[in-house]
Amino acid sequence: MIAYLKGKSLQINEKSLILEVNNVGYLVRATAEVTSNLMVGKETELFIHTHVREDEITFYGFVDQESLVLFQQLTSVSGVGPKTALDILENPINLIKNAILSEDEAIISQFPRIGKKTAQRLIIDLKNKITPPQSSSRTHPGKIDTDAVEALENLGYDRSIIIKCLSSLPKETKKTEEIIKYFLKNA
């Protein structure tokens, strides 16, 4: 199993990159946040999760161990495959962990491809396995107003962008109208 790769980025796409290590190019899937911080021709270090299926071997890359471990925990839950786990990791890690630890189904079911049953399964399976976030400064553990999220989706905004922006919502912002105004100013 490959657990770590260090090499030069040859090509970078929105959710994947080709990493050259000793004249071999590895296709590595990653979040858009990871790929947006990379530059073609620069040295890149990634922790790797190797996913093996009967017809394919896929590498998933992460910039830190915390992201890798959370990815592996997410994929251990029935109904959550590597693509879904990678989509979930487009959100801030602290938001994901706080939502699971506080058993907040509303936030979890807002993640891409996650319905109510899978949200419940994530909570049940991972509540006792997830370590508390390393830094709580990026997100607050409170619940995000689902009415505000739905209203913003109806305005045409992408759910993952809404959740990312609202994860840094000040604790004193509680009314739906205030939440929507905050999003529109900060998105």
pLDDT in tens, 167-179: 777 777 778 888 8
Query: In terms of Cα–Cα distance, which of 55, 58, 82, 72 is closest to 131?
Result: 72
Segments in the chain forming alpha helices (H): 32-36, 65-75, 82-88, 93-101, 105-108, 116-126, 146-154, 159-166, 176-186
- CATH number for the domain that contains residue 115: 1.10.150.20
User: Using 50, 70 and 90 to split pLDDT, how confident is the model at 145?
Assistant: low
Q: Inform me whether the pLDDT recorded for 141 exceeds 60.
A: no
Residue 92 lies in a domain: yes
Cα separation, 61 vs 23, in Å, equals 19
Asked which of 62, 83, 110 is the last residue of a domain, the reply is 62
Confidence (pTM): 0.74
Residues 56, 69 within the same domain: no
Residue 137 lies in a domain: no
Number of domains in the chain: 3
The string of pLDDT tens digits covering residues 43-54 is: 999 999 999 999
Mean pLDDT of 29-41: 93
Residue range(s) defining the domain that contains residue 71: 65-126
Residue 139 lies in a domain: no
